[in-house]
Structure 1
Amino acid sequence: MILKPLSLDISLPSQDNQNDIEFDITECLVDPNEEVPEPTPIIAFEHNGYTVPIFTENNKSLIKGQAKSRKSTLIKAIGATIVSKGYYNEGGKLKSYYHRNELSIIDTEQGKYHCYKAVKMIQRLSGESINYYRVAGKTIPQKKYLVEQHLKTHPNCGVMVIDNIVHFLLDFNSATESRELESWIDYLVETYNCHIILVLHENGSDSGLGKAKGHLGSLLENTCETTIRVRKDPDNKGQSIVSGALTRNGDFEDFIISMDYQGVPYISVPSDGKPMHKTIKI
């Protein structure tokens, strides 16, 4: 798809325009007598007979970690799980229950070759294709335009990954910019019923105590359904530890994400022993 220069105003309503502010406030009332079903788990962690939802419908979540901590490897595993409608071959601890399993990934950082490798890996693991956009070099309005145009034209897109959300604003320490960006994300979730997984770096060193980057990171940690932390295993550089840093649906056990020399992601739990690194031809 070739994107034309930004021509649509997709900004949120002006807070200074009274006509934009007025609405029927009963829309926001929560009726205690209404039967509201539990949201469908998009992905759940399964181990020792327990199932813990990680991402659920009509929410947003955060994946954080330092640079090169294998966040992208986890995204491949999550993506393959979602489009597989269950498990992918090497990801037996994660399971998708979601029927709207059309997935899109917005990549703001990687070059064309590494984007190709990522989308090809998800296809090989799951047998399904996804919509993978490389937006490095696009302006912030163009990136927002692409996101919303995709959601408008793909109503079955139930999950979108934005990697890295920091590139959707100019100053990640700006309280105003961060709030406006979060409001836009919430608008997308509500309007298109799409779970949005946001990826963000942690502060640059161990002294950052695992905090997501800037004011934006603090805001998202407070409001996301689930915040997942990915960090390299200090005792084994060949693998990373995935933790539920902040969870709304209950805690899940830490698990290991690793990959073989061809980039195949493997998931295991420490008590199960080390994963077997089989190979797959890419």
Structure 2
Amino acid sequence: MFEPIVINSEISKKELSYNEILKFRVLPTDKIPVPDVVLSFFDSMVMTRKNISCITGKAKVGKTFLLTLLNIAVLNKGEFQNTLKSFLPKGKDKILYIDTEQSDFHILLILKRILDSVGENKIENLLMFNFDAIDIEQRRNYTKELIYNTEGVGIVVIDGIADLIYDTNDIKESSIMASDLRKWSVEKDLHIVNVLHQNPSENSKMRGHLGTILMNKSETVIQITPCKENEDIKIVDTLSTRNKKPLPFAFEIDENGIPYISDYQFESKPIKKMTKKELFETHKIDIILDIFATSSDLGIGYGQLLDHFKRAYLSKS
């Protein structure tokens, strides 16, 4: 007979240390510098080191072409086509690009397109890996290994973050993945860009619990959609950001498959007229000051008060 298996019910726990916890306290006297900017859209920073971001959109909308455009901009450094700006310093200017969805052939196409745009000297700073045909645990372990052991990396691109976990609707697994991404970005002082599909039936919600958690954890969430008037034009907008929201921009793809910034003109939205209540709430202090600035030291009667109020109110409308 086999001997019964004895399961030890005592789970060893790391002893909590109060002093260890205090390391995470933020004080008003702390000197925390402005984060190093990896990429800006126009004059608005969208990606900084020690942070993560997301690029999202429907399947086959052009997310990989947007990544190609961003990679070209980062490798070129400085201002790119009057829209994108990259600030990676020498020694921290390598891109680690991990694809989990496409074949070797299609990844090589991307690499050659970028090479044609930036030249042989700059392409050395782009390290591309294809983790399509390996299992999930390998993908995750290989990704972490590359992040922690590749020198000089300033930005990591994971095209297919959903393929690093088993189930995007598993809240525990999704939370661990998001926490790992944040931890990796902070400990290695780099930015991690994650690509995640949107749900087919909803406009902007990223898939599963993973999408919800990454929406909250990301510094910036960038959405790509086809232009309604011309699907060859791709619109890039910011769904959410911790920084100043940048203006949208558009790009197209030339005959060689290389994306470029389009001169697409966005319609300016009409300014919403304020209601009477909103107008008063906005200008109430100025209105009150205007009323009593013209009053004598002896005070003001009710009739005069109404008259002055109407005049002051109308001057603001």
- TM range, smaller chain: 0.7 to 0.9
RMSD over aligned Cα, in angstroms? 1.8
Is the 1:66–1:202 Cα contact (8 Å) retained in structure 2? yes
Q: Deviations over 1:72-108 (max 9, x none)?
A: 11101111111222245xx431010121221011100
TM-score under structure 1 normalisation? 0.84
Which residue of structure 1 aligns with residue 303 of structure 2? none
CA distance in 1 between counterparts of 2:57 and 2:191 reads: 20
Q: What percent identity do the matched residue pairs reach?
A: 28
2:118 counterpart of 1:126: yes
Q: Which runs of 5+ in 1 are unaligned?
A: 1-15, 274-282
Which residue of structure 2 aligns with residue 92 of structure 1? 82
Which residue of structure 1 aligns with residue 109 of structure 2? 117
Which residue of structure 2 aligns with residue 64 of structure 1? 56
Q: Deviations over 1:33-81 (max 9, x none)?
A: 12211112111112xxxx1001011100000000111111110111111
CA distance in 2 between counterparts of 1:139 and 1:27 reads: 37
Which residue of structure 1 aligns with residue 229 of structure 2? 235
Alignment of 1:66-215 (within 5 A): 66-88=58-80, 91-99=81-89, 100-127=92-119, 128-129=122-123, 130-205=126-201, 208-215=202-209
Which residue of structure 1 aligns with residue 8 of structure 2? none
How many residue pairs match? The answer is 250
TM-score under structure 2 normalisation? 0.75
Q: Which runs of 5+ in 2 are unaligned?
A: 1-10, 268-317
Is the 2:49–2:185 Cα contact (8 Å) retained in structure 1? no
CA distance in 2 between counterparts of 1:133 and 1:17 reads: 38
CA distance in 1 between counterparts of 2:62 and 2:191 reads: 22
Aligned partner letter, 2:261: I
Q: Deviations over 1:103-141 (max 9, x none)?
A: 011100111111001112222222222100000121122
Aligned partner letter, 1:18: K
Between structures 1 and 2, the one with greater helix share: 2
Moved over 2 A (4+): 20-23, 268-273
CA distance in 1 between counterparts of 2:12 and 2:234 reads: 49
Which residue of structure 2 aligns with residue 263 of structure 1? 257
Say which one has the larger Rg.
2
CA distance in 2 between counterparts of 1:154 and 1:92 reads: 31
Is the 1:155–1:192 Cα contact (8 Å) retained in structure 2? no
Is the 2:50–2:182 Cα contact (8 Å) retained in structure 1? no
CA distance in 2 between counterparts of 1:134 and 1:164 reads: 11
Which residue of structure 1 aligns with residue 246 of structure 2? 252
